[in-house]
Amino acid sequence: MIQRTVSFPSLRKLLLRAGCSKSASSKIGTYNCFASQSSPLPSHNPSYRDDEYADVDWDSLGFGLMPTDYMYITKCCEGQNFGQGQLSRYGNIELSPSAGVLNYGQGLFEGTKAYRKENGGLLLFRPEENAIRMKTGAQRMCMASPSIDHFVDALKQTVLANKRWVPPPGKGSLYLRPLLLGTGPVLGLAPAPEYTFLIFASPVRNYFKEGSAPLNLYVEENFDRASSRGTGNVKTISNYAPVLMAQIQAKKRGFSDVLYLDSDTKKNLEEVSSCNIFIAKGKCISTPATNGTILSGITRKSVIEIARDHGYQDGIYNRFWNHLSRAEQYHFRNSNGYY
């Protein structure tokens, strides 16, 4: 549907080319070119496995759940702050049948990754941006949320506890899934009285089976991903199940994923089921504006900043779908995608 008209190097390569290095203040660094700050590592650690890598066929790694050793968990009551959590073995959690997240969808999630460098060091990619986005989402969903420092420190604990699951350089990454859940019991529609902040991890490679190859995207005109003045701009769990029907139908037709239009006019490109989108032509890239229905992606923000540093012109605006020529629409519907 959207042709990759410029060969954009991978984000990780661009970051490394830009001279980013590991922070010296801890075992896990962040990309210093974005002025990320590292918080002190906790003094208490579980008994980690001594072997350097888990028993995984890294060459066959895809994007699927592969449970690791440890997860991080902490709780707080409504109106209070999250205290220091703890690492526990990965496993099931117990929930009341009347938990707010089960009955009314009061929950948020984030997604970020840890990478292994050639020298064995570990990198987190802009974790403070995920923390900020979770706090913004928690405010919208009337939830307590961890502080930015707490969020980042919890990510570091989780990565170090699962270090043997971080793939070798170039073989993938350790995907980290922070969850913020309304776990307290409610019956009537109201904020939950208790919240749980949890992080689990899984080694992964490419999200799409095509890998780094172009994608085929289906432009969806019958289903909406988000509506104006709704929650499309926060990463609430309730935004994702509704896209499954359109996604399944598109995949049955041979497409990789779905590209959505705005719900009000059906004139503007918005985003794909689970990622933002860029349109690239020559030395110019453009992406739809985050106007309340589009999630403000951290990769999106990073691509814009890096592209500017590498001489690309960027435009952030609404792209009119029905103003494209028939030839251009055919090109979108039938060519490969870059997001």
For residue 324, the number of C-alpha atoms closer than 13 Å in the C-beta half-sphere is 17
313, containing H or E segment: strand 313-316
Least confident of 62-76, 90-104, 306-320: 306-320
> Is residue 20 pLDDT above 50, yes or no?
no
Distance of alpha carbon 196 from the chain centroid: 19
235 an active-site residue? yes
Per the structure block, which two tokens stand in for 48?
């980690």
Give the residue from 60, 162, 177, 63 showing the smallest Cα distance to 110: 177
pLDDT of the residue at 105: 96
Q: Name which of 16-25, 84-93, 173-182, 240-249 the model is least confident about.
A: 16-25
Structure tokens of 178? 């922070």
Among candidate residues 113, 156, 163, 235, the one labeled active-site is 235
Residue 269's pLDDT is what?
85
State the average pLDDT over residues 241-269.
90
d(CA 155, CA 81): 18
**Is 82 in a helix, a strand, or coil?**
coil
Structure confidence by residue, pLDDT tens digits, 136-164: 999 999 999 999 999 999 999 999 999 99
Kindly state the DSSP code that residue 188 receives in the 8-state scheme. S
pTM above 0.85, yes or no: no
The Cα–Cα gap between 158 and 87 comes to 7
pLDDT score, position 286:
84
313: pLDDT strictly greater than 60: yes
The pLDDT value given to residue 8: 35
What is the predicted pLDDT for the residue at 210? 64
Mean pLDDT, to the nearest integer, of 97-113? Answer: 97
Distance CA 159, CA 161 (A): 5
The 10s digit of each residue's pLDDT in 199-245 is: 999 999 987 766 666 778 888 888 888 888 888 889 999 998 999 99
Residue type, 205: R
283: Cβ contacts below 8 Å, ≥ 6 apart: 6, 311, 312, 313
Q: Residue 74's pLDDT band (boundaries 50, 70, 90)?
A: very high
pLDDT digit string (tens) for 267-301? 888 888 888 888 877 888 888 888 888 888 999 99
List the helix and strand counts (H, then E) for the chain. Answer: 7, 15
